[in-house]
Structure 1
Amino acid sequence: MQQIDFYMVDAFTDTTFGGNAAAVCPLTEWLPDATLLAMARQHNQSETAFFVTTDEGFELRWFTTQGEVNLCGHATLASAHVIFEYLNYPETAIQFSTRFVGPLTVTRNGDWLTLDFPATSSEPVTPPQLLLDSLGISEYQEVRLGRTYTVVLSTQQQVEAIKPDFQLMLGLNQKVCITAPANDEGYDFVSRFFSPASSITEDPVTGSTHTMLIPYWAQKLGKTQMLARQVSQRGGDLRCQLVGDRVHIAGQAATYLVGKVLLRG
């Protein structure tokens, strides 16, 4: 029987039951992909992060219940939290190597962890009617396509009021983000994120989507440092900065569960 350390961490929050939960499993060596996927399905979280320690830092991979994904912000933040808090890591910066997006760095400053991710672009598009129907809207400021469809609305209240038809959204075969300027004092913009095709109807806090939102709002607002709020039911705060062709996304994290995975057979 093989025993593997297991952590469940709420990312982009400093309270239990806030932010976005991720499972994190440190490994001594890579297990077969089928085993990693089976573990992710057993954990039944939006993401399970696995990492292996190397001479240069850590190799990091992310799995949903459907398969491996190319980037996940909240599970990267959760992994860094585990390394800093439980593995006696002495430095203030962690270097992750990844299969799809190259090296990623996470730095610690007090209780805040900052992800250094590549910025991603988006372009204005004419939205398919199915997208508008799935969101139940006819009016919008702009629709863009990059990592996801991004629908820009006028107000935070409109973002909060959306009740998607996820069966319709499945027909898009694309993830959907909605965003607007923030009304709450101290925040710059808000968002929500939907991915029913990945068995995630609404993701509570989505770091990877902010690789696209940060360049967009930096241009719109004329500023490179912003505070964002994902206004899901759980909610989460993200300190955002555009730095050339990179984005810095900072958040806090709170451990919910520490245990062991017991692999038999």
Structure 2
Amino acid sequence: MELPVFTVDSFSSGPFSGNPAAVCLLHSELQDDLYQKIAAEMNLSETAFIRKLNPTDDFHSENSNQTLTFETLSGALRARLDGDYIVMDLPINEPIAQDPKEVKELIKAAVGELTVQDVLYCGSLKKIIVRLSDTYERHVLESLKVDPQSLMRCETTGKVKSLVVTLKGNPAGQPAYDFYSRNFAPWYGVPEDPVTGSSHTVLGSYWAEKLGKLKMLAFQCSPRGGELKVSLREDGRVDVAGRAVIVLQGNLRL
């Protein structure tokens, strides 16, 4: 059996940046153990398996602007093409204020002695959000050296599964990013996620209130880096958009 497989760099307009993921097109379901074996073979943080629910549908639809709905283990995911951006329709996840004293060791493990302006928690995603002081610039966030083992030693309750450090952007910059972030998730086996769409459902909610804006341009400052457009909607959802490029295409032989 041969299965079409792609490596896609998402939230990027060129190769070797953004979030790399494998995408495998299926004609029918596989045995459960094969999914894990294929994902291990791809050796990327994400491997997506796509199968048509209606066998008569074509993967390569002539109407490239239609909204596609993916039935995932986490629920329905809707995505559409808008120019050269892929737009994901996601629920907004609003964070709540977190007492810094309750997670002071975790904060120190992440940002050391840097001044922290806000600490928040999103229970639905088990994320801690740490906002650095506005006195810092982007290079301070990029220069952080976060030890994943130290994070895991500071948090063993299961309440936190990822930690996001964020910083207000530079409106005078080119591009004029509204905010920056980095995402560390060693509890999931990911020391640092290159670009994280789900985190921006939380960050979008937070920064929209702080900046008084519903449409924002964000940059995740991982070593690979990734750009995202975040747009809050009146129906309680958020559009997270990014470009994507295919960097590898072939067939997987089973």
- Length-normalised TM-score, structure 1: 0.83
Q: 1:234 aligns with which of 224, 231, 253?
A: 224
The reply on whether 1:254 has 2:245 as its aligned counterpart is yes
Contact 1:19-1:204 within 8 A present in 2 as well: yes
Deviation at 1:157, TM superposition (A): 3.5
Deviation at 1:57, TM superposition (A): 10
For 1:57 and 1:96, the matched residues in 2 are separated by 16
What amino acid maps onto 1:180 in structure 2? L
Aligned to 2:129: 150
What amino acid maps onto 1:88 in structure 2? H
Unaligned runs of 5+ in 1: 59-82
The reply on whether 1:132 has 2:110 as its aligned counterpart is no
Task: Report SS of the residue matched to 2:116.
Answer: coil
Q: How many residues align?
A: 234
Deviation at 1:181, TM superposition (A): 0.6
The reply on whether 1:90 has 2:62 as its aligned counterpart is yes
For 1:56 and 1:29, the matched residues in 2 are separated by 9
Structure possessing the higher radius of gyration over alpha carbons: 2
For 1:180 and 1:242, the matched residues in 2 are separated by 19
Counterparts in 2 of 1:93-132, with a 5 A limit? 93-100=67-74, 102-127=75-100, 128-132=103-107
For 1:215 and 1:136, the matched residues in 2 are separated by 23
Contact 2:118-2:130 within 8 A present in 1 as well: yes
The reply on whether 1:182 has 2:169 as its aligned counterpart is yes
Q: 2:141 aligns with which of 159, 165, 188?
A: 159
Contact 2:107-2:130 within 8 A present in 1 as well: no
Unaligned runs of 5+ in 2: none
Counterparts in 2 of 1:4-19, with a 5 A limit? 4-19=3-18
Aligned to 2:29: 30
* Cα shift readout 1:67-120 (whole Å, capped 9, x = no counterpart): xxxxxxxxxxxxxxxx9xxx42223121112232x3221111221111111111
* Cα shift readout 1:189-238 (whole Å, capped 9, x = no counterpart): 01001112222211111111111111111111111000001111111110
Deviation at 1:32, TM superposition (A): 2.7
Task: Report SS of the residue matched to 1:191.
Answer: strand
What amino acid maps onto 2:251 in structure 1? K
For 2:11 and 2:56, the matched residues in 1 are separated by 23
**Greater than 4 Å deviation, 4+ residue runs:** none
Task: Report SS of the residue matched to 2:38.
Answer: helix
What amino acid maps onto 2:150 in structure 1? L
Q: CA RMSD in A?
A: 1.9
What amino acid maps onto 2:94 in structure 1? S
Aligned to 1:46: 45
TM-aligned CA distance change 1:126 to 1:32, over 3 Å: farther
Task: Report SS of the residue matched to 1:34.
Answer: helix
What amino acid maps onto 1:177 in structure 2? V
What amino acid maps onto 1:163 in structure 2? K
What amino acid maps onto 1:39 in structure 2? I
What amino acid maps onto 1:106 in structure 2? A
- Length-normalised TM-score, structure 2: 0.86
* Cα shift readout 1:133-171 (whole Å, capped 9, x = no counterpart): 321424201111112111011233332222112111122
TM-aligned CA distance change 1:33 to 1:126, over 3 Å: farther
Contact 1:57-1:96 within 8 A present in 2 as well: no
